[in-house]
Structure 1
Amino acid sequence: MKNVTKIALKSCTSLSLAGAAMFVLSAPAEAGSVKNGNVTDLTVYGQVNRTFMVYDDGEEMGYRNMDGDAGSTRFGLKASGKINESVSVGARLEAELQSNDPATISQSTESDSASGFTERLAFIYINHKQFGKLTMGQASAVSDGMSDGLDLGYVAGAFDGVETGRRSVNAVLFREDNAGAALSSRKIGNFFGTYDRGRQDQINYVSPNINGFKLEAGLYDAGDWGAGVHYDNKIGAFKVRGRAFYESLTNSSTSEGAWQVGGSVKHDSGISLTGVYGQSLAVEGAEDDARWAATVGYTANLNALGPTGIGVNVSGSQDRTVVGSEAIAVGLGFNQQIKGAGTNIYGNVAFWDVDLPSSQTQLDQVVTMLVGMQVKF
């Protein structure tokens, strides 16, 4: 075991995903941070997230067992070390392993055949307390987390941030609203979601905190880039969070980029309000689309397990996928932390509606209900 740890520590920047998996399996269950005698610290972390979803598409009801896509099943390695009191360096590797990815599970697909690891993160960084953090590699894009990490209320765990739980029902199909009631090719993910883009290979810079503000910029592949602003503060009895970004997508055939702004306020009483709005910038001859979401939540210690979050979320879009379309979703959700076990139990019920132009076949409403549990280690 000591030899395995020593090898892992000395070669963390070139460690393969398969080797990482073997390390996780062979490491003691209680070990989060591992040392091998040098000054570099290695942390092993991960989570398993599973959901059970029931759907009603207006014609039939069914259920699906899936991975939880908001905080998917994954594991990773974090390496860090200090050059001096002001400067630190580090690296991170993270892989995803999903059984029944919600992006592929629908009424017509009960299970996926995909297997193996998917790369999520692979980057190095240098951080200076006064001058900020520079990251190189596959890391979160500027837009990543600008909406799903926005809500200060605990109910955010039930709604994939502010997306009404869209990621966990992404591939569920709408039925045609006519006598035939056939499954259409339109899915929930075609009309709902924010402009968060996930991870990109890039050079990324984040400034130090200045009175609650941080600035961020990233240069991606193919000439794409992004810039954003983060704000976090406590003003009297209110916690306040703000996020805004713009991303230029010069390599896209349909969009020149997108912008998004959002804010969240939480009172010491536990009541919170969160909202986000954004628009794409379409190429010439195409139509801009708009996306928005809002949540009213309440967070409190209602039991000895940990904080409980409950709330109502509304999200929607205009002209997304289909010009002239309007989409709206309403969800009720809860999220319960079990603090002593690194666990969250969550659930929601959501109603998904899309109105298409009169020239197109209309779609029936879809209702989804899900419960899930996320265990972190």
Structure 2
Amino acid sequence: MRLQKQLLPLAVTASMALLSVGAQAASAETEALRAQIQALTDRLDQLEQQATVATQKAEAAEAKADAATSGRGILSGNENVRVTVSGHVNRGLLYADDGRESETYNVDNDSSSTRLRVIGEADVSDDLTIGSAIEAEFVSNSSFAVNQNNQTTSISNGNGINQRRLEVYFDSKRYGKLWLGQGSSASDGTSEVDLSGTDLVGYSSTADIAGAILFRDSNGTLTSTQVGNVFSNFDGQGRGDRVRYDTPSFGNFTVSASVVDGETWDTALRYAGEFDGAQLAAAIAYSEPDSTTVDNQVNGSVSLLLDNGLNFTVAAGERDVVSGDNPRFYYGKVGYQTQLFSHGLTAVSVDYSQNDDLALQGDEGENFGLQLVQNFDKWSTEGYVGYRNYQLDRAAGNVDDIDAIIMGARVKF
């Protein structure tokens, strides 16, 4: 009995010890299970985050593809070629007063005619790109075509649909650019360098907004002389079927040369650069057209834009003709740009131009203009209004001045 009493505490103690060990083991096992569950939960969260990121990337890629196909680019029939479609529509109202009568015309602004272009490009290497371009203008009631005797011009039956670019080109960063086909000659645009922001409604080609309006003589009779006969900016050789080469840019300079069908050839030097507080662009060209009346022509332009918005543009040109006094032109503009509204830049300018001996020997033509262009960046639109006064002094007899006002909008796509 005494022995049992002695063993009983020992048994109780041993039992409690065993129970304690068992409880500790169970507790450790429970903690291990909790850790495994937490690890699985963390892994699931990580997988969900990765899935969300992947979905977002896929949606972004799809949105980018949609933007490419519905915006600036379209899908090509060849996966190696990227295709872009762009252009603009430019419509306005033209009011013209010839000194005796006035008329309002619904016009396509010839300063930047309505047009559509398609460009396809393929990268041969990091250095060489091969491209092609198709561009046409669709002109109904061109501001350079309507006048007192012809108030409407139609694009039906192909009239008013003109080719601008039908060309291929090889563009090398190292060796320059070679063009083949219908497009700008080397001298095209060299009289039209303009950083004012108002060239849409007034630039060196001052006849564009009312080119066909006829002058009246002192008796009030319409002459056969149009505004476009008297005023020209001698802008090189324009566009044609040609072979053209542009050098790579060196020190912000580029040299171009082209041979146009009909034995016309030209060459041009261009500059575009920035320095402290200003941008400067310039061009000068020499050409020899296939002509029985003109031997050669020199023309050019320079434009300076200061950071404070002030800008200055000048242009000039002269034709060496076979007989008579050489026709020449001079052009000058002063402008200002500022951010008046949150929509975009507001640009204003005033300009003056003079042409001598162009329509007839002894002619002296002068014109001056005022321009305003308001940009609406989010809408890819520019609204504009411009005024110009054309004067002609003619030895054969005085003619009345012509006043022209144009207002409209250009919407790009």
Matched ranges for 1:61-72 at <5 A: 61-72=102-113
Q: Deviations over 1:204-242 (max 9, x none)?
A: 001111111000000111111000000011121121111
Partner of 2:383: 345
**Could you say if the C-alpha distance between residues 29 and 90 of structure 1 is closer, same or farther in structure 2, counting changes exceeding 3 Å?**
closer
Matched, 1:136 2:180: yes
Amino acid at match of 1:324: G
Q: TM-score, normalised by structure 1?
A: 0.88
- The answer (yes or no) to whether the contact 2:331–2:354 under 8 Å persists in 1 is yes
SS at match of 1:70: helix
Deviation at 1:287, TM superposition (A): 2.8
Partner of 1:96: 137
- The answer (yes or no) to whether the contact 1:163–1:315 under 8 Å persists in 2 is no
Deviation at 1:132, TM superposition (A): 0.4
Deviation at 1:31, TM superposition (A): 2.9
Q: How high is the sequence identity, in percent, across the aligned residues?
A: 27
- The answer (yes or no) to whether the contact 1:155–1:299 under 8 Å persists in 2 is no
SS at match of 2:343: coil
SS at match of 2:209: helix
* Distance across 2 between alignment mates of 1:147 and 1:58: 30
Select which of 244, 250, 258 maps to 1:210.
250
SS at match of 2:111: coil
Matched, 1:120 2:164: yes
Select which of 340, 359, 367 maps to 1:329.
367
* Distance across 2 between alignment mates of 1:35 and 1:61: 49
Select which of 266, 274, 289 maps to 1:226.
266
Matched, 1:294 2:361: no
Partner of 1:371: 407
Amino acid at match of 2:407: V
Matched, 1:85 2:126: yes
Partner of 2:302: 263
Deviation at 1:128, TM superposition (A): 0.7
Give the gaps of 5 or more residues in structure 2: 1-66
Amino acid at match of 1:162: S
* Distance across 2 between alignment mates of 1:338 and 1:194: 29
Give the gaps of 5 or more residues in structure 1: 1-26
SS at match of 1:158: coil
* Distance across 2 between alignment mates of 1:204 and 1:237: 34
SS at match of 2:208: helix
- The answer (yes or no) to whether the contact 1:254–1:286 under 8 Å persists in 2 is no
Select which of 173, 194, 210 maps to 1:151.
194
* Distance across 1 between alignment mates of 2:248 and 2:133: 20
* Distance across 1 between alignment mates of 2:374 and 2:131: 33
Partner of 1:361: 397
Higher RCO (C-alpha under 8 Å, 6+ residues apart): 1
Matched ranges for 1:265-280 at <5 A: 265-280=304-319
* Distance across 2 between alignment mates of 1:102 and 1:68: 5
Larger Rg: 2
Select which of 138, 163, 171 maps to 2:205.
163
* Distance across 1 between alignment mates of 2:197 and 2:242: 31
Partner of 2:276: 236
Structure 1 consecutive aligned stretches of length 4 or more whose deviation exceeds 6 Å: none
- The answer (yes or no) to whether the contact 1:125–1:134 under 8 Å persists in 2 is yes
SS at match of 1:302: strand
- The answer (yes or no) to whether the contact 1:88–1:128 under 8 Å persists in 2 is yes
Q: TM-score, normalised by structure 2?
A: 0.80
* Distance across 2 between alignment mates of 1:335 and 1:167: 16
Deviation at 1:28, TM superposition (A): 10
Amino acid at match of 2:177: K
Q: Deviations over 1:350-373 (max 9, x none)?
A: 11101011xx12111111111011
* Distance across 1 between alignment mates of 2:271 and 2:72: 30
- The answer (yes or no) to whether the contact 1:155–1:308 under 8 Å persists in 2 is no
Amino acid at match of 1:157: L
Amino acid at match of 1:351: N
- The answer (yes or no) to whether the contact 2:201–2:209 under 8 Å persists in 1 is no
Q: Deviations over 1:129-153 (max 9, x none)?
A: 01100000001112222223x1111
Partner of 2:225: 186
* Distance across 1 between alignment mates of 2:69 and 2:398: 52
* Distance across 2 between alignment mates of 1:205 and 1:60: 49
Partner of 1:3: none
- The answer (yes or no) to whether the contact 1:87–1:126 under 8 Å persists in 2 is yes
Count of residues in correspondence between the two structures:
342
Matched, 1:38 2:38: no
Amino acid at match of 1:232: A
Amino acid at match of 1:364: D
Amino acid at match of 1:120: R
Q: Which has the higher helix share?
A: 2
* Distance across 2 between alignment mates of 1:254 and 1:279: 14
